[in-house]
C-alpha cells in the first residue's frame, strides 16, 4: 500500500489482482450482494469507472441508490474513493437514496460529468439478494456499450485503486461538507424531481381528480425507492388520500419481496385492483429503483406495450407534449401497438434492441419524445432514463383530462387501432449450457425457417436482430431471434442480460387483431397456438427439460 495526501487526508493506493468478471449487462454491473462484498470487488469496479473518465479531475458526480442492502456501505466506499481520485464535487441524495430517473435529472440539471447509481433494479434485495452499479454519462443516460466495454477492459487489467481511510463520511443530513479537496453536497432526494414533474404535467387538474370524492387510487411502492417520491408528490402535493401509497417505506430487503411491478410480484396491488367491489379507479406500482411502472384500472390490467401506445395517442393532453412529439421508439420485443399510433400520427417509430441505453442517442438527437419497453419501462425526453412515477402522473393527467375510466380508454384505443395481444414467458435459472445450445440450434436453423408452416402459422421472415444505430452507425448484433409470421404475429427469443443466477430465456409472443369480436379473449388463450409454436420451434422442453415458464407476464 502506497500513501499520499490531499489537505492532510491520506490517500492509500491498494494493490489488487484484476477481477475478470466485471462485464456490465443490459443495465450496469449486477451481481449478488455476496459477490459485491468480496474484498476489493466494488472498489475495483468503481476505480474502473473512474479510470474510464478522462475529465474526472475536479468534476461533479451525482451519487445515490435504491436503498437496498449494501447501499450505505457502497456510498461510503465511493465517497472515499472519489476524494482520492480527485473528483471535485459529489451531489448525494440524502441517506444515499436517489431513484434512477431522479439521478438522471440531477446529472443534466447540475451539468455533472455523470452519475453512479447503486441498484439492481427489480431484482430481490437483502444480504442474499442482488446489488448493482450503473454509470450514467453527462446526458443523464446509461453508459453506451462502447463505454461499458471500455470499463470492462479496464477492470480486467486493474491492479490498484485509490481510497482515503477516513470514515464514516456524512450522508444523512442535508448540507455541504468538505472531504479533502472534494465537496459533498447532500440534497433532498425528492425536491428537484418533483419540481420537474410539476413542469411537465397539469398538477392542478390532477389534484382536482385526486381530491374528488368519486376517485381513488393505489400506488404500490414495493418498499423500494419510489416510496418517498410518491408520498410527497401524490399524497402531500396532489392531495391523494392518505394511504393511497402502500408499502411506501423503503426497506433494505424490500420487505422480503421482489420489487418488480408485474402481475406476479405486485400481488397486493393486483388483489386490491381485482376486488369484486370497491376497487380503486387507478392502480400503479414501481420497481426497486423507480424506473419501471405498472398501470391498472378497476379490474383491469394495461400491458406496458399498450400503455406506451395510449400515452402516445394522448400526449397532446399533457402540457409538456401538447405541441407535438418528435417521434417514438420501442424496444424490438415490445409489441407493435405504438407503431399503429405513430403511423396514424405521421411520426417516426424506431425499433431498438432491449435496454434503455439504445434510446439515448435518439433522445439526444431529438429524434424521439416518447419511448418504452414491454418490461414495464416508459420514458420521454424529460430525462434519459425510463421513469416510473412520471408514467403514473402521465396516466393520471390523461384520466383528469378525459374524465373516463382506464378500462374504457384502453377499449376505445383497441377499437380505433386494433389490439396487440401480448405475453412474455420467462424460463429462469436455466443451466448456461442448455440455454446456449437452445440458441445455437435456433441460429443454425434460422435460414430454413422462412416460409415454413407451423400449426396454422406461416413464417414470413426469421432472423437474428441486428441494430444499426441511426445516429452514430454503431452496430449491435445478436439482439434476439425474431420470427415474424405472414399475419404479422411475432415470436421473439432472447437471453436476459440482467440475471445473476443461471440463464433466463425470454420468449415474447404477439398477435394483432382488428376484429372487435376477438377483443374479449384471455391473453394466454388468444396466443395459445403461437405459444405452442414457440415451444416447438425452439424445442424448449428438449433443451431445458422445462414444460412451462417460471414467470408469465
Ligand atoms: C430487462 C428488461 C429490459 C430492461 C432491463 C433493465 O433486461 O427485459 O427491457 O431494459 O431489464 O431494466 P433483460 O433481463 O431482459 O436483459
Ligand atoms: Zn429498474
User: Does the pLDDT value for residue 168 go beyond 90?
Assistant: no
How many Å apart are CA 103 and CA 136, to the nearest integer? 9
Task: Say whether 244 is catalytic.
Answer: no
356 lines ligand 1 (CB under 6 A): yes
User: Does the pLDDT value for residue 497 go beyond 70?
Assistant: yes
**Residue 63 in contact with residue 183, Cβ under 8 Å?**
no
User: Across the strands, what pairs with 18?
Assistant: none
**Residue 504 in contact with residue 429, Cβ under 8 Å?**
yes
> What is the residue extent of each domain of the chain?
2-187, 192-417, 419-552
How many Å apart are CA 427 and CA 262, to the nearest integer? 16
Residues 6+ positions from 314 with CB-CB distance below 8 Å: 398, 401, 402, 409
Q: How much is the average pLDDT of 56-66? A: 97
Alpha helices in 231-321 (DSSP H): 267-273, 304-313
Q: What pLDDT is attached to residue 447?
A: 80
How many Å apart are CA 549 and CA 123, to the nearest integer? 18
User: How are beta strands 9-15 and 160-164 bridged, if at all?
Assistant: antiparallel
Q: pLDDT tens, 417-470?
A: 999 999 999 999 999 999 999 999 998 888 887 666 777 778 888 999 999 999
Q: How much is the average pLDDT of 194-221? A: 97
Q: pLDDT tens, 358-396?
A: 998 999 999 999 999 999 999 999 999 999 999 999 999
Q: E strand or H helix at 264, and its extent?
A: none
287 lines ligand 1 (CB under 6 A): no
354 lines ligand 1 (CB under 6 A): yes
Residue ID of nearest Cα to ligand 1 atom 1? 498
pLDDT band, very low/low/confident/very high, at 357 (cuts 50, 70, 90): confident
Distance from the CA of 287 to the center of ligand 1, in angstroms? 12
**Signed CA dihedral, 346, 351, 356, 361: sign only:** negative
378 lines ligand 1 (CB under 6 A): no
**Residue 83 in contact with residue 162, Cβ under 8 Å?**
no
- Residue count of the chain: 553
497 lines ligand 1 (CB under 6 A): yes
End-to-end alpha carbon distance in the chain: 51
Pick the CATH number of 2-187 from 3.40.50.720, 3.40.50.2300, 1.10.10.10, 3.40.120.10: 3.40.120.10
Strands, E assignment, 230-356: 245-246, 282-286, 293-297, 300-302, 327-331, 348-352
**Residue 516 in contact with residue 225, Cβ under 8 Å?**
no
Q: pLDDT tens, 230-286?
A: 999 999 999 999 999 999 999 999 999 899 999 889 999 999 999 988 999 999 999
Q: Which residues, by Cβ under 5 Å, contact ligand 2, an ion? A: 121, 287, 289, 291-292
Residue with cell 462484498: 37
User: How are beta strands 490-495 and 481-485 bridged, if at all?
Assistant: antiparallel
How many Å apart are CA 324 and CA 136, to the nearest integer? 28
How many Å apart are CA 367 and CA 14, to the nearest integer? 45
Ligand 1 atom nearest 375 alpha carbon: 9
Q: E strand or H helix at 72, and its extent?
A: helix 71-84
Q: Which CATH architecture has domain 419-552?
A: 2-Layer Sandwich (3.30)
What single DSSP character describes residue 28? B
Distance from the CA of 128 to the center of ligand 2, in angstroms? 19
Q: What is the largest CA-CA distance in the chain?
A: 76
User: Does the pLDDT value for residue 59 go beyond 70?
Assistant: yes
Nearest one of 16, 13, 18, 19 to 35, comparing CA atoms = 19
- Whether domain 192-417 has CATH 3.40.120.10: the reply is yes
Q: How much is the average pLDDT of 286-297? A: 97
Residue ID of nearest Cα to ligand 1 atom 8? 375
**Catalytic option among 48, 52, 121, 335:** 121
Q: What pLDDT is attached to residue 517?
A: 80
Q: What pLDDT is attached to residue 451?
A: 63
How many Å apart are CA 198 and CA 232, to the nearest integer? 12
Q: pLDDT tens, 507-543?
A: 999 999 998 888 888 999 999 999 999 999 999 999 9
142 lines ligand 1 (CB under 6 A): no
Residues 6+ positions from 322 with CB-CB distance below 8 Å: 315, 316
User: Does the pLDDT value for residue 159 go beyond 70?
Assistant: yes
On the question of a common fold for 2-187 and 419-552, the answer reads no
Q: What is the mean pLDDT of the chain?
A: 94
Nearest one of 27, 22, 123, 23 to 355, comparing CA atoms = 27
Residue with cell 402516445: 312
User: Does the pLDDT value for residue 477 go beyond 70?
Assistant: yes
How many Å apart are CA 417 and CA 137, to the nearest integer? 37
Cα–Cα separations (whole angstroms), residue 8 to 84, 180, 452: 12, 7, 73
Q: How much is the average pLDDT of 481-496? A: 93
User: Does the pLDDT value for residue 3 go beyond 70?
Assistant: no
Quote the percentage of the chain above a pLDDT of 90.
Answer: 85
Distance from the CA of 292 to the center of ligand 2, in angstroms? 5
Nearest one of 458, 461, 467, 466 to 447, comparing CA atoms = 461
Amino acid at each position: 500500500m502506497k500513501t499520499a495526501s490531499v489537505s492532510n487526508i491520506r490517500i492509500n493506493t491498494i494493490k489488487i489482482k484484476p477481477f475478470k468478471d466485471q462485464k456490465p449487462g443490459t443495465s450496469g454491473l449486477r451481481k449478488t450482494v455476496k459477490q459485491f462484498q468480496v474484498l476489493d470487488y466494488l472498489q475495483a469496479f468503481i476505480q474502473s469507472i473512474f479510470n474510464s473518465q478522462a475529465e474526472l479531475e475536479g468534476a461533479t458526480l451525482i451519487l445515490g441508490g435504491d436503498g437496498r442492502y449494501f447501499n450505505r456501505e457502497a456510498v461510503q466506499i465511493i465517497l472515499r474513493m472519489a476524494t482520492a481520485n480527485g473528483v471535485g464535487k459529489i451531489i448525494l441524495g440524502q441517506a444515499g437514496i436517489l431513484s434512477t430517473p431522479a439521478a438522471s435529472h440531477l446529472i443534466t440539471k447540475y451539468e455533472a460529468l455523470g452519475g453512479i447509481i447503486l441498484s439492481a433494479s427489480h431484482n430481490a434485495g437483502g444480504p442474499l439478494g442482488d446489488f448493482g452499479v450503473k454509470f450514467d454519462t453527462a446526458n443523464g443516460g446509461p453508459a453506451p456499450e462502447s463505454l461499458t466495454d471500455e470499463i470492462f477492459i479496464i477492470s480486467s487489467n486493474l491492479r490498484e485503486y485509490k481510497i482515503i481511510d477516513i470514515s464514516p463520511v456524512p450522508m444523512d443530513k442535508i448540507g455541504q461538507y468538505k472531504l479533502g479537496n472534494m465537496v459533498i453536497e447532500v440534497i433532498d432526494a425528492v425536491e428537484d424531481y418533483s419540481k420537474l414533474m410539476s413542469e411537465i404535467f397539469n398538477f392542478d387538474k390532477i389534484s382536482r381528480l385526486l381530491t374528488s370524492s368519486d376517485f381513488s387510487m393505489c400506488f404500490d411502492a414495493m418498499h423500494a425507492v419510489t416510496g418517498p417520491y410518491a408520498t410527497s408528490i401524490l399524497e402531500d402535493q396532489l392531495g391523494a388520500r392518505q394511504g393511497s401509497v402502500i408499502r411506501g417505506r423503503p426497506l433494505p430487503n424490500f420487505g422480503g419481496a421482489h420489487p418488480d411491478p408485474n402481475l406476479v410480484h405486485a400481488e397486493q396491488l393486483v388483489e386490491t385492483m381485482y376486488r369484486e367491489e370497491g376497487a380503486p379507479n387507478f392502480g400503479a406500482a414501481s420497481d426497486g429503483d423507480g424506473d419501471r411502472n405498472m398501470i391498472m384500472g378497476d379490474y383491469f390490467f394495461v400491458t406496458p406495450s399498450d400503455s406506451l401506445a395510449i400515452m402516445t395517442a394522448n400526449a397532446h393532453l399533457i402540457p409538456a407534449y401538447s405541441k407535438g412529439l418528435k417521434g417514438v421508439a420501442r424496444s424490438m420485443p415490445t409489441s407493435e401497438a405504438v407503431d399503429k399510433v405513430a403511423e396514424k400520427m405521421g411520426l417516426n417509430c424506431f425499433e431498438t434492441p432491449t435496454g434503455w441505453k439504445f434510446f439515448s442517442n435518439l433522445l439526444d438527437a431529438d429524434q424521439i419524445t416518447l419511448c418504452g419497453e414491454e418490461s414495464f419501462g416508459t420514458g420521454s425526453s424529460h430525462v434519459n432514463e425510463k421513469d416510473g412515477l412520471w408514467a403514473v402522473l402521465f396516466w393520471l393527467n390523461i384520466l383528469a383530462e378525459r374524465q373516463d375510466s382506464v378500462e374504457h380508454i384502453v377499449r376505445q384505443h383497441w377499437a380505433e387501432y386494433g389490439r396487440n395481444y401480448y405475453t412474455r414467458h420467462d424460463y429462469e435459472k436455466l443451466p448456461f449450457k442448455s440455454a446456449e445450445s437452445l440458441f445455437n440450434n435456433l441460429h443454425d436453423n434460422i435460414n430454413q425457417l422462412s416460409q415454413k408452416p407451423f400449426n396454422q402459422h406461416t413464417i414470413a421472415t426469421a432472423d437474428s436482430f441486428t441494430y444499426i444505430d441511426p445516429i452514430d452507425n454503431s452496430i449491435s448484433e445478436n439482439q434476439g431471434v425474431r420470427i415474424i409470421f405472414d399475419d404479422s404475429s411475432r415470436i421473439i427469443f432472447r437471453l436476459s442480460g440482467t440475471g445473476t443466477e443461471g440463464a433466463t430465456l425470454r420468449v415474447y409472443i404477439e398477435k394483432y387483431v382488428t376484429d372487435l369480436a376477438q377483443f374479449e379473449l384471455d391473453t394466454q388463450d388468444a396466443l395459445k397456438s403461437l405459444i405452442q409454436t414457440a415451444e416447438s420451434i425452439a424445442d424448449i422442453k428438449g433443451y431445458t427439460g422445462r414444460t412451462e415458464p417460471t414467470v408469465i407476464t
